[in-house]
Amino acid sequence: MQSVKVQTSKSYQEYLIASLKDPEEAAGYITAILEEEAPEPELLCSALEDVVTALGESKDLGLPRAFKGERSQAIYDLTTYLDKLGLKLSVTVK
């Protein structure tokens, strides 16, 4: 009997990183995180780290302190304020 190798599927994380290599996808991913109705500051930090990994930037880039922990709540406060003005924050490819 011959043994057959079964190709394993990619993990979600591998798929995510592969899809975020497209700058348009990366921009949409961050924008979607910012538009969440129930903000999760830790999720924003994680999403930014995924984009850094996907776009091949140096791990030494590091995230500014403003995006870590409770400090990242400020960006969600800004999105709420802009929403009240009929505006929204978005990320685009330059």
In this predicted model, what pLDDT tens digit does every residue of 2-34 receive, in sequence order? 666 656 567 999 999 999 999 999 999 999 999
Per the structure, the count of domains in the chain is: 1
Strands (E), 1-94: none
pTM above 0.95, yes or no: no
Q: Domain range for residue 31?
A: 12-84
Largest CA distance in the chain: 69
Asked whether residue 35 is assigned to any structural domain, the reply reads yes
Cα dihedral 23, 57, 43, 12, rounded to 10, equals 70
Asked whether residue 60 is assigned to any structural domain, the reply reads yes
